[in-house]
Amino acid sequence: MRYDPNLPRAVFLGPSFAPAAAARLLPANYYPPVRMGDVYRLLASGVETIVIIDGVFHQSTPVWQREILAALEAGIRVVGGASMGALRAAELAPYGMEGIGTIYGWYRDGVIDGDDEVALVHADAELEYQALSEPLVNMRYNLARARANAVIDAAAHDALLAAAQQRCFTERSWRRLEAAPAWQALAPARRAALAAFLANDYVDLKHADARAVLEHVRRSTADSRSALRPRSRWSYPGSARVRLQAALAPDGSLVDGATVLTRALAADDAWVAPCLREAHARCYLEDWLERCAAMPPAETLAPFLARVTPAQASGDAAAFARANGLTRDELDAALAARARHAWLLAGESAMPGTDDAAHDALLAALGETAASARAAARRDACLAAWARRRGISCPAAEHDRRAPHWCAAHGLSAAAVDADARLARALAERVLAAWLLDQEPAHFGFERFSADAELLLALKLDGRHAALVADLTGVRAAPAPPHKDSSAAGAA
């Protein structure tokens, strides 16, 4: 996929309306029928409006509701109608997705409910997505018009519609309907009148609704978007989203997170282990702060936020976010979390359940005075307090194995530690913390924690992600800062 930021709209279109004609009606970035992951790829591009008309569903996974929710959560306007867009808009209207057209209204009001109503078989892009079957909504609409115009009576209408419904969407066509018993049961004059009506007065409802969607978006602006900003577990930035979400390259390419992460790991994976340990620590400490209701106020965090904000983001945060595959909300939330972590490790505020005096004594015994050593001790004290609050303890066998190694690595006599209750207590907490950081957060119930997400976030926040994207697309860029620590398809 490619994206032109000068046209902040994205339209997913196929058999319902010729893309070339649509582009004359509504200038935008045009893409083939939407499929799973396509909306995720656009989230961080800077797009203001996403229009969903056509989408695949038979041979590929259809667009997820959760990725549309993620777009709405990011403040992106999402409009749908005519086909897959009508179906998704009816499902997600309570969350802010806009629906336009008759077909959308049918789904919304329960007149129709099956996705096969809008499904059809179509050719590929080279043949401009030419329809190879007839969508049921078109048949339903034209049969209703024929009844309203007294071409057929109600009984014939019901029998013909039932005959169309009984066929698989891949086999629906007017020609096949003409061979059905319900059609053949009509009087010859009625058959001729209906055939003439369909030949001379046929309405392509999906096409008409697609035009209505495009004209609606052309007349309105991104400011027309819903004020709703859904916050749901479905929009949590887990592994699937971050691997599909793309960064906007200088040449307009959209490069997904999975591609960037693969390149980063192939070049160097020494950063992975420490990065994940830091991520584990933030996960546990965020949980602890929430449980203690100890979230610092914004004014307290201000200097720490300035400290963790990348220089490029300080200048143009929106451009930095796009280049690194982040929405502004994601960038702001990630920096705020790191600022809280920095505030906590600075030790400027006493935290409940921590034994700072014991850790100070251990530091003194080690002769450690560096700020980094004090921050590590503070982190371990807080992790131990979190573990106690959650009823988590280090297995005795693990403590017995790890404690001697810790003492030996730090040049400390095990006997001296055992003789001093404060040192023994601090050592036990340091060992507990080390064991905690070696465990996957899922071990403690954090099922939504994603290692891929955390690794990609680390790349994004220090700017290496943008440099890797430039490298992957063959665009020369400033060096990254050093690391700190098918021909026929089913569609709807």
CA–CA separation, 428 and 388 (whole Å): 12
Domain count for the chain, please give it: 3
Q: Is residue 120 assigned to a domain?
A: yes
Contact 149, 198 (CB under 8 A): no
Contact 260, 245 (CB under 8 A): no
For residue 385, the model assigns a pLDDT of: 94
Look at residues 406, 427, 444 and tell me which one is the last residue of a structural domain: 444
E strand spans, 221-378: 246-248, 254-256
Q: Is residue 219 assigned to a domain?
A: yes
Residues 110 and 150 grouped into a single domain: no
For residue 447, the model assigns a pLDDT of: 87
Q: Is residue 452 assigned to a domain?
A: no
- Full residue range of the structural domain in which residue 179 is found: 136-203
Q: Is the pTM of this model over 0.85?
A: yes
Residues 152 and 26 grouped into a single domain: no
Q: Is residue 34 assigned to a domain?
A: yes
Q: Distance from CA of residue 23 to its chain's centroid?
A: 27
For residue 265, the model assigns a pLDDT of: 96
Residues 114 and 230 grouped into a single domain: yes
Residues 86 and 171 grouped into a single domain: no
Residues 284 and 393 grouped into a single domain: yes
Residues 101 and 144 grouped into a single domain: no
Compute and round to an integer the Cα radius of gyration of the chain: 30
Q: Which of 386, 362, 366 has its CA nearest to residue 437?
A: 386
Q: Distance from CA of residue 273 to its chain's centroid?
A: 25
DSSP one-letter code for 1: -
**What one-letter code names the amino acid at 212?**
A
Residues 383 and 341 grouped into a single domain: yes
CA–CA separation, 53 and 104 (whole Å): 11
Residues 192 and 80 grouped into a single domain: no
CA–CA separation, 78 and 225 (whole Å): 8
CA–CA separation, 258 and 246 (whole Å): 9
Contact 50, 23 (CB under 8 A): no
Residues 310 and 433 grouped into a single domain: yes
CA–CA separation, 257 and 87 (whole Å): 29
Q: Is residue 356 assigned to a domain?
A: yes
Q: Is residue 464 assigned to a domain?
A: no
Q: What are phi and psi of 281, to 5 degrees?
A: -60, -45
For residue 478, the model assigns a pLDDT of: 47
Residues 176 and 214 grouped into a single domain: no
CA–CA separation, 387 and 429 (whole Å): 10
For the chain, which residues score pLDDT lower than 70?
Answer: 127-128, 222-238, 475-492
Secondary structure of 12-70 in the HEC alphabet? Answer: ECCCCCCHHHHHHHCCCEEECCECCCHHHHHCCCCCCEEEECCEECCCCCCCCHHHHHH
Residues 109 and 243 grouped into a single domain: yes
CA–CA separation, 345 and 377 (whole Å): 9
Q: What are phi and psi of 420, to 5 degrees?
A: -120, 115
CA–CA separation, 30 and 253 (whole Å): 14
Q: Is residue 467 assigned to a domain?
A: no
CA–CA separation, 205 and 18 (whole Å): 14
Residues 362 and 438 grouped into a single domain: yes
Helix axes 298-308, 328-346, angle to 10 degrees: 100
Q: Is residue 475 assigned to a domain?
A: no
Dihedral-angle region of residue 50 (phi above 0 means left; psi in -120 to 50 means alpha; beta otherwise): beta
